[in-house]
Structure 1
Amino acid sequence: MDSIRVRANGPLRGQIPIAGAKNACLALMPATLLSEEPLTLTNAPRLSDIRTMTLLLRSLGVEVSALADGKVIALSSHGLTSTRADYDIVRKMRASNLVLGPLLAREGVATVSLPGGCAIGARPMDIHIAALEALGAEIELRDGYLHAKAPRGLRGTRVALRFASVGATENTLMAAVLAKGTTVIENAAREPEIVDLALCLSRMGAQIDGAGTSTITVQGVDRLAGATHHVVADRIELGTYMLAPAFAGGEVECIGGHLDLLGAFVEKLRLVGLEVEESAAGVRVRRSADRLQAVDVVTEPYPGFPTDLQAQMMAMLCTAQGVSVLEERIFENRFMHAPELMRMGARIEVHGGTARITGVERLRGAPVMATDLRASVSLILAGLGAEGETVVNRVYHLDRGYERLEEKLRAVGADIERIAA
């Protein structure tokens, strides 16, 4: 397996382009199943998860083409050949379950493997199932597959989600756009990726109100047309690179980013002592303080602090002056990066879903192991400011969510390279 070597190389300077959002694109691609007409996505990220979704859609008979060096994805579902999402593909990526709602809405039947286990805790499908059953689906679990059908079609109704799940909101929204009548989704997720999906579906002819709030109303239509849609900027990639100067010093401009994607996160950056501002082309972040300050963080559903930036924030707080308390409320088992940071000299105490971080003057480079996607990048960031050399092993996770990370960091002055296995 590949590894990444990082050495401190002084302050960072320059621009970092922010790619389209992985989590948005993984929901937008299955939306093609709702129409026989073409769907074109621009500003698509070039990631292994996108390739996995491409394989899944092709297995259903969707025509998928990558254009403009992979930044444009052209999809056409005019000739579906299957409604079965096999385990061999679904096990690689949890977002594969987002074909369930669209297939049920268009074909009235779907057989979708349960996703495999997740390194950062359980993310059960029961919320998805309950929502689709409320719309009239009949779903049975047999041999590791969800066998779903809607013999009388899907019917609009009130759907109250037990938890503001992003995936369940997306599956329900895509199912509801072709259901008969009106659907009201209560306790809906509010993430920008939900808004982006609703915008794309609306361009295809869907009637949706309230995306971005906790109540989404959908008036079902008979059919959807094709569309061209620009994928929203990736707020997690944006937040990750905004943190880079916190480790190495200097100033970076994140091209294509917007502060309104990361309200709660931006507040914390300013509290620790980073200078953050909008620029004409994106977001500019500067570290001018010699020592950043400790701050407490609680992860919450949007618009709260994102769980997908928790590992990166923890790494930064390891050298902040004072004691920080970081509470993870979204996923259990998401502090696996803490022992690896401790190998670099961090002082972290973990008790259940809470981590207490006492800042040290500086981390020391060490060989460490990545345990998941966000843990991978948190260790790389830590290496930007650590004394000596840091080697991050098992970085295959990284390519799922960060496009050309080494190239982007080198362009602003980082000493970083990938070491092929």
Structure 2
Amino acid sequence: MNVMRIQGGIPLRGTVRTQGAKNAALPVMAACLLLKGGTLALDNVPDLCDVSTMMELLGALGVEVSREEDRVLLNVPEDIAWEAPEHLVRKMRASSLALGPLLARGGRAALPLPGGCSIGSRPIDLHLKGLVQMGAKIEIRNGVVHAAADRLRGRRIYLDFPSVGATENLMMAAALARGETIIENTAREPEIENLAAVLRTMGVPIEMEGTGCVRIKGVDEAQPGRERVIPDRIEACTYILAGVMTGGEITVCDVVPAHIDALLAKLEEAGARFSVRKGEVTVFPVERLQSVSLKTMPYPGFPTDLQPQMTAALALAGGVSMVEESVFQARFLYAEELNRMGADIRIKGDTAIINGVRRLDGASVRATDLRAGAALILAGLSASGETRIEDMVHVWRGYEAIDRKLRGLGASVSLEEGAER
């Protein structure tokens, strides 16, 4: 079994520290594949299932991986494998991030098409298109991407959509390409900046204008380096919403407030009370949020990874809220689960119409994906009675020790015996 039980209705209080960002840790770990001998040291790496999967994947390619608390050392030998194991790749979409550095370093790579959460189509066409522009020959046979190139060449690449994964993969590929690569219409997420910082420590010159244009001068050989993973903005926002929804007072520390401006702006619009200081955000009790409307957008817009949690909060707001999802097609699968708890949410195309209710009631629900699971936890914390959430395996992919952290804030949370972590 893989179940969390929550006795809701308890205002949460206290301080919680933000973990390192999952979505930053995975690409910077993959960047170690650019090394032809040497170590990449990373601090503030979260202890998550996806991180463990990436460690396994790198290990299977020949990287010596060690961990001590939140520090991960990635010792890369001169010779590594170039075929990624299918059973690991299919567990996690971020496995696709091995493609660019493997190809750039060794001239070939074989990568099964990756898996991940069931939140709609997320093809890697933009990754492959960019690599082809840089001189790669790519074939897809039996569900496996086969890529080859004597040496990638720097090019001007325009992304049709500011894809985070494509931006990261092409940045790593460009690090060892001949000449300069200019990538336009890139993703602008903070995780992209974190990857750029890691590549710079590895000796790769990178210029980022902050407007979706990245310039990279390829080097002949990457150097060993060390960098810190940035705080997880999505986890920080989840705990902020936990405080808001339970009428509690929570301080979330080790956060970069500028990274979560989109949420703070919407909470202010909805009437939430909070204070922002260097490295931390504190939320204070309010009687009830007011309805707001939002649309998910690439950064610095409202993040799609926070849409389910925000929808859970708006389920208790006064009035009718509208939430439009513009990134992933199937991100509203959790709405039916919230409705089982008494929410009034109707899905019309890519928009959720949320008629706020006064209270939610505990129920047995199922996490359909990572962020859906977080939304159900928030709903359970604020609901009357007990909530039982199945398929918590999704949540462990992105939230480190969320059960213990919530108990530290006063929540009544337990895992059923045998729950997988």
TM-score, normalised to structure 2's length?
A: 0.97
For 1:267, which of 265, 268, 274 is the aligned residue?
A: 265
Alignment of 1:175-324 (within 5 A): 175-210=173-208, 212-287=210-285, 289-324=286-321
Counterpart of 1:47?
48
* Displacement of 1:177: 1.0
Give the partner amino acid of 1:3: V
Give the partner amino acid of 2:370: L
How many percent identity over aligned positions? 49
Counterpart of 2:66?
65
Counterpart of 1:171?
169
User: Contact conserved, 1:42 with 1:73, CA < 8 A, in 2?
Assistant: yes
Give the partner amino acid of 2:39: P
Cα distance in 1 for residues equivalent to 2:210 and 2:73:
26
Cα distance in 2 for residues equivalent to 1:280 and 1:257:
8
Which whole-Å deviations, capped at 9, do the CAs of 1:367-400 have from their partners, x for residues lacking one? 1111000011111110111111111111111110
User: Contact conserved, 1:322 with 1:359, CA < 8 A, in 2?
Assistant: yes
Counterpart of 1:5?
5
Counterpart of 1:77?
76
| CA 1:117–1:243: 2 relative to 1, 3 Å | closer
Residues 354-363 or 4-13, more deviating: 4-13
For 1:396, which of 385, 389, 393 is the aligned residue?
A: 393
Which whole-Å deviations, capped at 9, do the CAs of 1:8-46 have from their partners, x for residues lacking one? 243211101100000100000111111122100000000
User: Contact conserved, 1:299 with 1:328, CA < 8 A, in 2?
Assistant: yes
Which whole-Å deviations, capped at 9, do the CAs of 1:138-181 have from their partners, x for residues lacking one? 11111111110002x11101011111000000000000011111
Segments of structure 2 that go 5 or more residues without pairing to the other structure are none
Which whole-Å deviations, capped at 9, do the CAs of 1:76-110 have from their partners, x for residues lacking one? 11233310012111000000010100011110111
Structure 1 residue 132 corresponds to structure 2 residue 131: yes
Count of matched residue pairs: 417
Counterpart of 1:106?
105
SS at match of 1:216: strand
SS at match of 1:262: helix
Cα distance in 1 for residues equivalent to 2:130 and 2:243:
43
Counterpart of 2:155?
157
| CA 1:118–1:9: 2 relative to 1, 3 Å | closer
User: Contact conserved, 1:194 with 1:211, CA < 8 A, in 2?
Assistant: no
Cα distance in 1 for residues equivalent to 2:116 and 2:258:
33
User: Contact conserved, 1:190 with 1:211, CA < 8 A, in 2?
Assistant: no
Give the partner amino acid of 2:132: E
Give the partner amino acid of 1:125: I
Segments of structure 1 that go 5 or more residues without pairing to the other structure are none
Which whole-Å deviations, capped at 9, do the CAs of 1:270-294 have from their partners, x for residues lacking one? 111212322355221222x211100
* Displacement of 1:118: 4.3
User: Contact conserved, 2:251 with 2:283, CA < 8 A, in 1?
Assistant: yes
Give the partner amino acid of 2:45: A
User: Contact conserved, 2:8 with 2:385, CA < 8 A, in 1?
Assistant: yes
* Displacement of 1:266: 1.1
User: Contact conserved, 2:120 with 2:329, CA < 8 A, in 1?
Assistant: yes
SS at match of 1:197: helix
| CA 1:94–1:253: 2 relative to 1, 3 Å | same
User: Contact conserved, 2:8 with 2:387, CA < 8 A, in 1?
Assistant: no
Structure 1 stretches of 4+ moved >4 Å: none
* Displacement of 1:420: 2.5
Counterpart of 1:25?
25
* Displacement of 1:352: 1.3
* Displacement of 1:212: 4.0
For 1:383, which of 376, 380, 385 is the aligned residue?
A: 380
User: Contact conserved, 1:9 with 1:415, CA < 8 A, in 2?
Assistant: no
Counterpart of 2:96?
97
SS at match of 1:278: strand
Cα distance in 2 for residues equivalent to 1:211 and 1:50:
30
TM-score, normalised to structure 1's length?
A: 0.97
Cα distance in 1 for residues equivalent to 2:142 and 2:222:
33
Cα distance in 2 for residues equivalent to 1:285 and 1:258:
15
Give the partner amino acid of 2:281: V
Cα distance in 1 for residues equivalent to 2:406 and 2:272:
19
User: Contact conserved, 1:4 with 1:395, CA < 8 A, in 2?
Assistant: yes
Give the partner amino acid of 2:308: A
Give the partner amino acid of 1:149: A
| CA 1:116–1:412: 2 relative to 1, 3 Å | closer
* Displacement of 1:356: 0.3
User: Contact conserved, 1:9 with 1:413, CA < 8 A, in 2?
Assistant: no
SS at match of 2:79: coil
Structure 1 residue 144 corresponds to structure 2 residue 143: yes
Cα distance in 1 for residues equivalent to 2:139 and 2:3:
42
| CA 1:233–1:382: 2 relative to 1, 3 Å | same
Give the partner amino acid of 1:246: V
Cα distance in 2 for residues equivalent to 1:100 and 1:265:
33
User: Contact conserved, 2:245 with 2:313, CA < 8 A, in 1?
Assistant: yes
For 1:353, which of 350, 355, 366 is the aligned residue?
A: 350
User: Contact conserved, 1:8 with 1:386, CA < 8 A, in 2?
Assistant: yes
User: Contact conserved, 2:256 with 2:279, CA < 8 A, in 1?
Assistant: no
SS at match of 2:38: coil
User: Contact conserved, 2:33 with 2:101, CA < 8 A, in 1?
Assistant: yes
Cα distance in 2 for residues equivalent to 1:375 and 1:92:
18
